Amino acid sequence: MNIAISESAYWAITVKGNNKLIGTICIWNIEREENKAEIGYVLHPAYSGKGFMHEAMSAVIQYGFRQMKLLCLDAVLHPENKRSIKLLERNGFTYAAASGEEVVFRLYNSMPNGKSR
């Protein structure tokens, strides 16, 4: 897949067997010169804590590293968003930086040739 700078890839999250949208997940803010991007996501509160986002995130991370050949993914969020921080850590992200009212968690592709995870 060829994605130009500033383009993004979005996926809808649904319950298996039902086309009702319960969330989205994306790779965006793609910086080809640095071979990195951000991951963003949102899930309807009624489906929180049920593993939907963990499953979606795992698939999107694999896509970003294998197909897009990214070297790292960042997630930018509010430091009080404990559930999101736990989700990121469960998917291998680690704290990278803080800026104002935001924190950055980062996940590096352990095999830059795109065969990670």
Q: Give the right CATH number for 9-108 from 3.30.465.10, 3.40.50.2300, 3.40.630.30, 1.10.10.10.
A: 3.40.630.30
How far, in Å, CA of 72 to CA of 84, rounded? 18
Secondary structure (3-state) at 14 = strand
Q: Give tens-digit pLDDT for 26-64.
A: 999 999 899 999 999 999 999 999 999 999 999 999 999
Which is more confidently placed, 110 or 107? Answer: 107
Q: Give tens-digit pLDDT for 81-96.
A: 999 999 999 999 999 9
> What average pLDDT is seen over the chain?
90
Position 4 pLDDT exceeds 60: no
**Helix 82-90 × helix 52-62 angle, to 10°:** 50
Which alpha helices (DSSP H) does the chain contain, by range?
52-62, 82-90
Is the Cβ–Cβ distance between 70 and 35 less than 8 Å?
A: yes
Cα dihedral sign, 71-56-10-96: negative
